[in-house]
Amino acid sequence: YPKWYSAKRGIYHSKHPSIELPTHTYLDVVSFIFSHQHTGISALIDSSSGYSLSYAELFPLVKSMASALQSRGISQGDVVLLLLPNSIYYPIIFLAVLYLGAIVTAMNPLSSVSEIKKQVTDCNVHLAFTVHQNVENLKALGISIITVPENLVIDSKQVQFSDFYELISGNFDLVTKPVIRQQDTAAILYSSGTTGASKGAVLTHRNFIAVVELFVKFEASQYEYLSSENVYLAVLPMFHIYGLSLFVLGLLSLGSSIVVMKKFETNEMVRMIERYRVTHLPVVPPILMALTKGAKGVRGDSLKSLKQVSSGAAPLNRKIIENFVQAFQHVDLIQGYGMTESTAVGTRGFNTKDYCKYSSIGLLAPNTQAKVINWDNGSCLPPGHSGELWLRGPAIMKEYMNNAEATMSNIDSDGWLHTGDIVYFDQDGYLYIVDRIKEIIKYKGFQISPADLEAVLICHPEIVDVAVTAATDEESGEIPVAFVVRRHGSSLTQDAVIDYLAQQVAPYKKVKKVFFTHSIPKSAAGKILRRELRKLLSSRL
Q: Which residue is nearest to ligand 4UU (CB)?
A: 312
d(CA 139, CA 215): 39
Least gap, CB of 113 to ligand 4UU (angstroms): 23
Of the residues 196, 237, 315, 450, which one makes contact with ligand 4UU according to CB under 6 A: 315
Q: Does 194 bind ligand 4UU (CB under 6 A)?
A: no
Q: Does 182 bind ligand 4UU (CB under 6 A)?
A: no
Q: How far is CA 175 from the centre of its chain?
A: 33
d(CA 324, CA 331): 9
d(CA 236, CA 239): 9
Instruction: Give the nearer residue to ligand 4UU in terms of CB position, either 237 or 255.
Output: 237
Spell out the SS3 assignment of 297-311: CCCCCCCCCCCEEEE
Of the residues 337, 358, 425, 430, which one makes contact with ligand 4UU according to CB under 6 A: 337
For the segment 236-295, give every residue that binds ligand 4UU (CB under 6 A): 241-242
d(CA 469, CA 447): 12
Q: Does 321 bind ligand 4UU (CB under 6 A)?
A: no
Of the residues 202, 344, 484, 537, which one makes contact with ligand 4UU according to CB under 6 A: 344
3-state secondary structure of 159: helix
Least gap, CB of 132 to ligand 4UU (angstroms): 27
Backbone φ and ψ of 456, nearest 5°: -75, -45
Least gap, CB of 357 to ligand 4UU (angstroms): 13
Least gap, CB of 468 to ligand 4UU (angstroms): 17
d(CA 185, CA 6): 33
d(CA 80, CA 151): 22
Least gap, CB of 189 to ligand 4UU (angstroms): 8
What residues are paired with 467 via a beta bridge?
A: 483
d(CA 116, CA 103): 17
Of the residues 244, 313, 320, 321, which one makes contact with ligand 4UU according to CB under 6 A: 313
Instruction: Give the nearer residue to ligand 4UU in terms of CB position, either 315 or 429.
Output: 315
Angle, CA 216 vertex, CA 214 and CA 221 arms, to 5°: 95
Instruction: Give the nearer residue to ligand 4UU in terms of CB position, either 101 or 237.
Output: 237
Per-residue string for binding with ligand 4UU, 36-75, x by CB under 6 A? Answer: ----------------------------------------
Q: Does 433 bind ligand 4UU (CB under 6 A)?
A: yes
Angle, CA 262 vertex, CA 256 and CA 266 arms, to 5°: 95
Q: Do residues 203 and 240 lie in contact, with contact meaning Cβ atoms separated by under 8 Å?
A: no
Instruction: Give the nearer residue to ligand 4UU in terms of CB position, either 286 or 445.
Output: 445
d(CA 295, CA 416): 42
Q: Does 334 bind ligand 4UU (CB under 6 A)?
A: no
Q: Which positions lie near ligand 4UU, rule CB under 6 A?
A: 191, 241-242, 312-315, 335-340, 344, 348, 361, 419, 421, 433, 436, 442, 445, 447
